[in-house]
Amino acid sequence: MLMFSVFKTLTEQVVTVELKNDLCVMGTLKSVDQFLNIRLDNIKMSVKNCFIRGSVVRYVQIPRTAVDTTLLEDATRREAQEGKK
Amino acid sequence: MDGPDIPTSVNEPLDLVKLSLSERVFVKLRGDRTLQGVLHAYDAHMNLVLSEVEETVSIIDVSEDGVAQGVRTAKRNMDMLFVRGDAVIMIAPPSS
């Protein structure tokens, strides 16, 4: 659930999604779901927007300024603790 | 549960990863890729969020008869990166 929340906070940011077949897609993150499927808008391709199945993603490059690292580390510790209960 | 509930104790493998939060880690991935970066988040799938990432891709040159000719590496730097957990083989503190 943690990564789902992370991506929800990243909506409307410009990200680069690198797929397992080495294809890179840069665009505006419009939405994400629990499987980390991703919907991108304004992509620089023959089509304007696309939906990417979560399982084919290798990396997502995120703008650094969009992430609060301290908050992220605290949330990670909290989720790791909850997982044990 | 078994044992006293000390927050810092290592009871399961991922607790070891928890100790590396906000530290530089070495990550081995499928497809002859390795990453070095500062770990900010992980989950049970080993999805990761890293910053100041250097990716190294090893490319093995093979001649026509299938004999390895040597290994080339390609390096790449990224500011902030989400890594999908299904490609992760190993997470380790970097060899200092």
What DSSP letter does each residue of B68-82 carry, written as one string?
A: EEEEEEEEEEEEEEE
- The verdict on a CB contact (< 8 Å) between B80 and A80 is no
Q: Are B89 and B29 in contact (CB under 8 A)?
A: yes
- Chain A nearest C-alpha distance from B19 (Å): 10
Q: Give me the phi and psi of B59, to 5 degrees please.
A: -115, 120
> Given a cut of 80, is residue A83 above it in pLDDT?
no
pLDDT given at position B69: 84
Residue A63 touches partner B, C-beta closer than 8 Å: yes
pLDDT given at position A85: 60
pLDDT given at position B40: 96
- CA B47 to chain centroid, in Å, comes to 10
- The verdict on a CB contact (< 8 Å) between B82 and A60 is yes
- Chain B nearest C-alpha distance from A38 (Å): 13
Rounded to two decimals, the ipTM of the complex is 0.92
**Each residue's pLDDT tens digit, B36-95:** 999 999 999 999 999 999 999 999 888 888 888 888 999 999 999 999 999 999 999 876
Block residue for tokens 């580390």: A73
Give the mutation candidate from B43, B50, B59, B83 for the A interface (greatest A CB count, under 10 A).
Answer: B43
> Given a cut of 80, is residue B5 above it in pLDDT?
no
